[in-house]
Amino acid sequence: MDSNDFADRLTASRIWRSVFRHGWSGSPLDRSLATTSNVFFHLHPVKVDRRSLRWSYTFGLGIISAILFLVLLFTGALLMFYYVPSVERAYPAMKEIQLSVPLGQFTRNMHRWAAHLMVLTVVLHMARVFYTGAYKPPREFNWVVGVFLLLLTLALSFTGYLTPWDQLAYWAITVGTNIAGYIPLLGTALKQALIGGVEVGQSSLIRFYTLHVAVLPAIMSLLIAVHLWRVRKDGGLAANERVEEE
């Protein structure tokens, strides 16, 4: 090995060790340091009972929802390279994505299917949390954060629905915002604020688009961070306490 090789290896090993600071083997202290010094692993509490990690306790529904959200951010960003939020150009842009953009149809389908799936996994995750009684103190605040996450998931689905600007989208948004208009006192103002006027048109498209690609994903990202941080601060999953009681 010449001196250049040696220097390269030394640099590579320094970079490796600056990211992964502790090995797996060795003492319990080593293992706990490996966990707490890693941004992903440190979401777990320092001590986790093996039984609380059972697949059948959570079915991974929370983490699957979070992964689907990442898939949606990634595929959504790709779609934004081609989509144009204008009433004349939205539908042709969407057709172009499907018919002539390389992997366009695949990307659009990924985005749609991930969105449908996320609604399903978030609702199932909520049902699982309820079934295991994990909404009780000290997790009541995280339950409330979760309720907002559910509402945001639904709001993202609803705002995304208008973007293709086809007949289905147009009438779904017309009906949806008309329903919002029946809310006592606030209804009319809310409807007009959503569609940007008295009937669905260009200003509705730009409003729904901005909510869909910027405002709602930003709030969602922040709330998911708070949600996961709360799971950690509440002592990990509720199963941990039940195991201690047994």
Binding site for ligand HEM (CB under 6 A): 58, 60-63, 65-66, 69, 122, 125-126, 129, 132, 134-135, 139, 142-143, 146-147, 149-150, 153, 224, 227-228, 231, 237-238
Rounded-to-integer distance, Cα 47 and Cα 44, Å = 8
Rounded-to-integer distance, Cα 93 and Cα 95, Å = 5
Rounded-to-integer distance, Cα 216 and Cα 223, Å = 10
Rounded-to-integer distance, Cα 246 and Cα 242, Å = 6
Distance in Å, CB of 34 to ligand HEM, minimum? 20
Distance in Å, CB of 66 to ligand HEM, minimum? 4
Q: Which is nearer to ligand HEM, 11 or 36 (CB)?
A: 36
Rounded-to-integer distance, Cα 18 and Cα 50, Å = 29
Distance in Å, CB of 225 to ligand HEM, minimum? 10
Q: Are the CB atoms for 97 and 108 separated by under 8 Å?
A: yes
Q: Which is nearer to ligand HEM, 126 or 162 (CB)?
A: 126
DSSP assignments along 160-171, one per residue: HHHTT-SHHHHH
If DSSP codes are grouped into helix, strand and coil, which group holds residue 25? coil
Q: Cα dist. 22→27, 32, 44, 45 in Å? A: 11, 9, 17, 17
Residue nearest to ligand HEM (CB): 146
Distance in Å, CB of 88 to ligand HEM, minimum? 34
Q: Which is nearer to ligand HEM, 180 or 226 (CB)?
A: 226
Distance in Å, CB of 181 to ligand HEM, minimum? 27
Q: Which is nearer to ligand HEM, 108 or 139 (CB)?
A: 139
Q: Which is nearer to ligand HEM, 93 or 237 (CB)?
A: 237
